[in-house]
């Protein structure tokens, strides 16, 4: 019974599928000016964003439609996401393929100078080691949307929060 409890605790505190470790301390929704109106988890997968809109707009719209979806270690659908499952799912909604792993997503993209970040770019962080271990999607105005660790939901946060600025690893653009 104790082993089962330990396994459940370990599973509930992991961060991204690629890292297996929960970042500490991880910003929680109660922090001021962090969460922007999280929605209830979607009851069904959102419809793909119409292809007439510019690609970056479609990526952002697809990501924002998932606000409030729960975190689930190894999750890659609206029933629950981890960070790289979230980005992979969002990009698939607009017809783009991403690798599943955070490090592979980082390696797949083209580097972007932080002063040139655009909506739809992937923002990477080192939350658990010296390697990238967390990813989100840039929204513009210094904000990003991501699937944070256990007990979290897909939400918007400020890239300027000290937690994120200390852990910033880079920006990648997956499509022009």
The strand pairing partners of 111, in sequence order, are: 172
Residue 58's φ and ψ, nearest 5 degrees, are -65, -40
165, burial (CB in 10 Å: exposed 0-12, middle 13-18, buried 19+): exposed
134 catalytic residue (yes or no): yes
Could you give the dihedral angle defined by the CA atoms of residues 33, 37, 42 and 45, in that order, rounded to the nearest 10 degrees? -70
Catalytic residue among 16, 37, 83, 131: 83
Query: Active-site residue 83, yes or no?
Result: yes
Q: What is the CA radius of gyration of the chain?
A: 15
Q: Check 16, 37, 131, 134 and give the catalytic one.
A: 134
Catalytically annotated residues: 83, 134, 146
């Amino acid at each position: 019974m104790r082993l089962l409890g330990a396994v459940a605790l370990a599973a509930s505190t992991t961060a991204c599928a690629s890292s297996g470790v929960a970042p500490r301390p991880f910003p929680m929704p109660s922090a001021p000016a962090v969460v922007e109106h999280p929605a209830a988890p979607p009851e069904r997968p959102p419809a793909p964003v119409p292809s007439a809109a510019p690609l970056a707009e479609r990526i952002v719209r697809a990501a924002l439609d998932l606000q409030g979806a729960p975190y689930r270690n190894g999750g890659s659908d609206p029933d629950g996401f981890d960070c790289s499952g979230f980005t992979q799912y969002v990009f698939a909604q607009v017809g783009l393929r991403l690798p599943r792993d955070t490090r592979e997503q980082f390696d797949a993209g083209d580097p972007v100078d932080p002063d040139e970040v655009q909506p739809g770019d992937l923002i990477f962080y080192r939350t658990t080691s010296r390697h990238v271990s967390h990813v989100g999607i840039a929204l513009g105005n210094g904000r990003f949307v991501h699937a944070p660790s256990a007990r979290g939901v897909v939400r918007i946060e400020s890239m300027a929060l000290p937690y994120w600025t200390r852990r910033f690893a880079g920006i990648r653009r997956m499509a022009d």
